[in-house]
């Protein structure tokens, strides 16, 4: 598999772009300023566009795989590749999508956690009502993925080692009452993602 960045003639990928975003003038709003990634496995399989939203935030848009090649892991590979590409350039990758029971779990299983929603986005910004698997799209749901996953993992492990060492030094009973630690939701989601990806941990 090979992922390349496309800098010119991005409209050549319009068939895939329209799979993810049905209205061409909405694509035009971000295609020029976005970076287009194309995944090839012999020939073209998937694409996505990433825009720089400032303050270390990048947004992944128009993720799409040709229907006959879906379910083979191409989109997940592309997501991981793109997040790896941006890990030294920013802190968070966000993705905005319709509130459907298929796509939201797909992103959650790819390391994203729910961030926020914009109510009635698809009703107010699109000319025609949009439907996904028979459900009319209304709100736009945003999910985010920490780009510094490895750093977070090292931090969590270091904190755990420090905590256990301190408990042993000061003779605390760590097997007794449950100790609640103030780990934020993002850390928890990262940890779930890490343990899913590396079950031997």
Ligand X SMILES: CC(C)(COP(=O)(O)OP(=O)(O)OC[C@H]1O[C@@H](n2cnc3c(N)ncnc32)[C@H](O)[C@@H]1OP(=O)(O)O)[C@@H](O)C(=O)NCCC(=O)NCCS
DSSP letter string over 118-134? ETTHHHHH-SS--EETT
Structure tokens at 153: 């993992």
DSSP letter string over 152-184? HHHHHHHHHHHHHHHHHHTT--TTSSPPP----
Among 17, 27, 51, 65, contact with ligand X (rule: CB under 6 A): 65
Q: Is 76 in the site for ligand X (CB under 6 A)?
A: yes
Q: Is 146 in the site for ligand X (CB under 6 A)?
A: no
Q: Is 63 in the site for ligand X (CB under 6 A)?
A: yes
Q: Is the dihedral of CA 102, 106, 107, 112 positive or negative?
A: positive
Q: Is 74 in the site for ligand X (CB under 6 A)?
A: yes
Q: Is 20 in the site for ligand X (CB under 6 A)?
A: yes
Among 35, 57, 70, 91, contact with ligand X (rule: CB under 6 A): 70
Counting every residue, how long is the chain?
Answer: 201
Closest CB 74 distance from ligand X, rounded Å: 4
Buried b (16+ CB within 10 A) or exposed e, 123-137: eeeeeeebebeeeeb
Q: Is 117 in the site for ligand X (CB under 6 A)?
A: no
Pick 73 or 163: Cβ nearer ligand X: 73
Alpha helices (H) in 7-67, listed in sequence order: 14-20, 24-31
Q: Is 71 in the site for ligand X (CB under 6 A)?
A: yes
Pick 73 or 91: Cβ nearer ligand X: 73
Structure tokens at 95: 């993705």
Q: Tell me the number of residues near ligand X by CB under 6 A.
A: 18
Q: Which residues bind ligand X (CB under 6 A)?
A: 19-20, 46, 63-65, 70-76, 97, 102-103, 106, 109
């Amino acid at each position: 598999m090979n992922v390349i960045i496309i800098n010119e003639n991005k409209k050549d990928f319009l068939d895939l772009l329209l799979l993810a975003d049905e209205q061409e003038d909405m694509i035009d709003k971000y295609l020029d300023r976005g970076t287009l990634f194309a995944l090839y496995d012999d020939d073209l399989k998937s694409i996505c566009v990433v825009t720089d939203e400032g303050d270390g935030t990048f947004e992944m848009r128009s993720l799409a795989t040709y229907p006959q090649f879906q379910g083979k892991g191409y989109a997940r590979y592309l997501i991981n590749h793109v997040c790896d590409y941006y890990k030294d350039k920013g802190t968070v990758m966000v993705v905005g999508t319709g509130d459907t029971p298929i796509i939201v779990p797909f992103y959650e299983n790819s390391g994203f956690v729910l961030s926020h929603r914009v109510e009635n986005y698809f009703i107010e910004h699109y000319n025609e009502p949009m439907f996904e698997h028979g459900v009319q799209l209304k709100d736009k749901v945003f999910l985010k993925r920490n780009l510094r996953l490895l750093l977070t993992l090292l931090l969590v492990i270091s904190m755990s080692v420090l905590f256990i060492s301190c408990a042993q030094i000061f003779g605390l009973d760590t097997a007794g009452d449950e100790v609640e630690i103030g780990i934020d939701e993002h850390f928890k989601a990262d940890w779930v993602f890490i343990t899913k990806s590396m079950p031997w941990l």
